[in-house]
Every structure is written in structure tokens, then in C-alpha cells.
Structure 1
């Protein structure tokens, strides 16, 4: 009902309500005067039946429609805020999992390749401990901008928690996904954040999995495989991408 109201618009909805009010008033008046044959009274009654709703209906309906649309807009904003990470503006863990499952089901049905990427900032605790949590927040925002610059609009980007991020890349081969991660490594190597007149560089370790999914696959199981590659990247020197199964 609310969606239909938005499509009609506030003015169109008010006019529609007024029209329905006039028709209803005329119908009721006609029924009443059907049993009353006094033409003079009938003409006055019919005139009143038309004029009264025309005068009365628009004002309360305009006000009520304004309230309804404000409430709907607030609900939409609250739903959006509930799905986003407050610091980075990326999808939060719950929203990322929900949206990724939808894309995963589509990939299963169409039998197309997808890539799942896990990312974890290297030695992030050192940044927090040395320069403070504000520096850590700055690094997370900087990394978010680097991610957005490396990804397509169709790619899902989520912050799963802390310095842990994930990507779901629909219709993406392992070669394409690996190229994306190398572009991200290069971007970070050529940039830095500035804290208290000090330029700070950081790196990221990445795990990558590409496949044509089956019905047995879920985003949880795929991320578990990605995590094993991510840990391998961490243990083999950090600042690198490890492809699952390679």
C-alpha cells in the first residue's frame, strides 16, 4: 500500500481520496433521496454531497499523507542504517551474508562462476597501539576507499568485523579476481595515511576462492575455505593473495 502511494505521489493520492469521498457521498445521498421525492431538497442535498467532501477531504488527507510518507521514509532509512557498518558505510556482516546468499543462489541456478575474497589488514593492532584508535579508524576508511576503487558496482563489499573484510564477486573468474587483488595490493603500496605528521603505510593479506557453485555451497562454507587461504597468506609473510587449492 505504501509503495503504491509513493508511486502515485502525495498530490495524486489526495486527489484520488477526494474523488472517492465525493463518489461515496453522492452514492449515500442518492440512496437517501431515492426514498424522498422532494426535488428541491434533493437538489440541495446533491449539491451538498458534492461540495462538502471537495472542501473537507483534501486538507486532512494531505496532512495524513504527509505523515505517512515521512514515517515510510524514516523506516526505509532505519532499514538502510541497520544494514551498513557505521564507520565505513559498507555492508555489515548480516547484510553481506544475506545479499551474498541471494547472488550465490542465482549463480547456482545459472551455473556461472563466482569469486569470494577474504581480506584482513596486516598488524592492524600495531597501528591502534602505536597511534591510537583514531588512526585505526582512519586506516579502515582509507582501506574502504581502496576497495571501492578496485571493485565494480555489481560486487558486494562487506566489513565482517574489526579489520576483517569480504568480497563477493559475481560472474568472476579466478584470473579476474586475482587481478583485482593485485590491483588492491598495488594501490596500498602507493598510498598512506597521515597521523600526527607521520605517513603510515599498511598492507593486507587476502584469501581467494573461485568456483561454479553447487546447491551444497553456502556463503558460510565458502568463507571457511577462504579463511584457510587467508591464514596461509598471513603465515607465509603477509601482504599477498593466496588462492584456495593452489
Structure 2
């Protein structure tokens, strides 16, 4: 319904409703004259049948369509907010898995490569403990900004919780994905946050998996695999990318 309104335009819908109202009013009035008086509709009847809906229908339909469009816009906004992380504006965990699942299934069907990236900010707890949670939030929003600057519009980015993030890079080879992670490391190296006149630098550890998925693969199973590589990155010095299987 809303799609039809947007496609045809509110004025066109109002004209259509008014035309239908007038036509229906004429038909009903004609039937009343025929049943009750066994005669054709009079000129007064025709005038009343036309003027009544012509006066009422445009204003009522314009108002109701406006209300309907506002409700629809509010519903879309609420649906969007329900899928986004309130701090970073990235997809939340549920929305990320939903969108990534679609792309993984597409990659399985078309037999194209995808890359899964798991990211975790290094020593994030120390930022919170030393400078407070507001500094931690600033680091997360700054990281999101840097991350988006390195990603393509087609990439699916999600905050899975805390300082944990994930990205699905569709139609991306292993070399391309690795180059992406190196650009991100480099960009973070030139970035910092300022808290009480103190510049704070931070890094990220990354696990990376690139493959042409099979029917056995799901976004959950792929993330489980790449989490192992992320764990190795965290435990082998941090601020690095570990590729699954290497």
C-alpha cells in the first residue's frame, strides 16, 4: 500500500479515491431512486451524489494518507533502529548475522569467494579502567569511523558485542582481504583519540578467513573458524592479522 502511494504520488491517490467515491455515490443513489421510487435519478439527486463525496473525499483521503505515510515512516525508522548498534551505528549482532547469511548463501549458489574478518580492539579494558568508560566509547566510535573509511559500501560490518566486530567482504579474494586488513592497521596507526588533553592510541587484532563456501558452511561456522585466528593474533603480540590455515 505504502509503496503504491509513493509510486503514484499522494495527489494521484487522492484523485483516484475521489473518483471512486463519486462513482460509488452515483451508483448507490441511482439504485435508491430505482428501488424506492421506480424512477431515474433526479437532477437534485445527481448533484447531491456528486457534490457530497467531491467535498468530503479529497480532504479526508489526503489527511488519512498523510497519517498512513507518517506511521509507515515511523515503523521503518523503528525497524532500522532495532537493527543498529546505538553507539557505533553499525549493524548489531542479530542484524549482522541476518545480512551475512544472505551473502554467504549467495556465494554458495554462485560459487564466489567471500572473506570473513573478526576484529577485537587490543587492551580495550585498560582504556576503560584508566580513562573511564566515556573514553572507551570514544575509542569505539573512532574505530568505527576508521573502519568505515577502509570498507566498501557492499561490505557488511557489525558490532558483535563490547569491542568485538566482524565484517563480511563479499566477492573478495584472500589477497584482497589481507590488503584490506593491512590498510586498516595502517589507518589506525595514524589515528588516536583525545581524552583530557591526552592522546590515546590503540590497535586491533584481526582474524581472517577467505574461501568459496560450500553447502556445509554457515556464517556461524565461518565465524567460529576465524575466531581461532583472532585468538592467535591476540596471543602472538596483538596488532596483527592472522589468516586462517596459515
CA distance in 2 between counterparts of 1:133 and 1:101 reads: 33
CA distance in 1 between counterparts of 2:47 and 2:120 reads: 74
Q: How does 1:118-157 map to 2 (within 5 A)?
A: 118-157=118-157
Deviation at 1:38, TM superposition (A): 5.1
Q: How does 1:179-218 map to 2 (within 5 A)?
A: 179-218=179-218
Q: How does 1:1-246 map to 2 (within 5 A)?
A: 1-35=1-35, 36=37, 42-246=42-246
- RMSD after superposition: 1.2
Deviation at 1:124, TM superposition (A): 0.1
**2:50 aligned counterpart, secondary structure:** helix
Q: Which runs of 5+ in 1 are unaligned?
A: none
Deviations 1:185-244 (A, max 9, x none): 001111211111011000000000000001111100000001000000011000000000
Deviations 1:151-173 (A, max 9, x none): 00000010000000000000000
CA distance in 1 between counterparts of 2:3 and 2:184 reads: 40
Deviation at 1:32, TM superposition (A): 2.6
CA distance in 2 between counterparts of 1:8 and 1:130 reads: 58
CA distance in 2 between counterparts of 1:125 and 1:155 reads: 28
Deviation at 1:27, TM superposition (A): 1.3
**1:57 aligned counterpart, secondary structure:** helix
CA distance in 2 between counterparts of 1:73 and 1:9 reads: 15
CA distance in 2 between counterparts of 1:104 and 1:28 reads: 57
Deviation at 1:51, TM superposition (A): 1.2
Deviation at 1:5, TM superposition (A): 2.3
CA distance in 2 between counterparts of 1:11 and 1:210 reads: 51
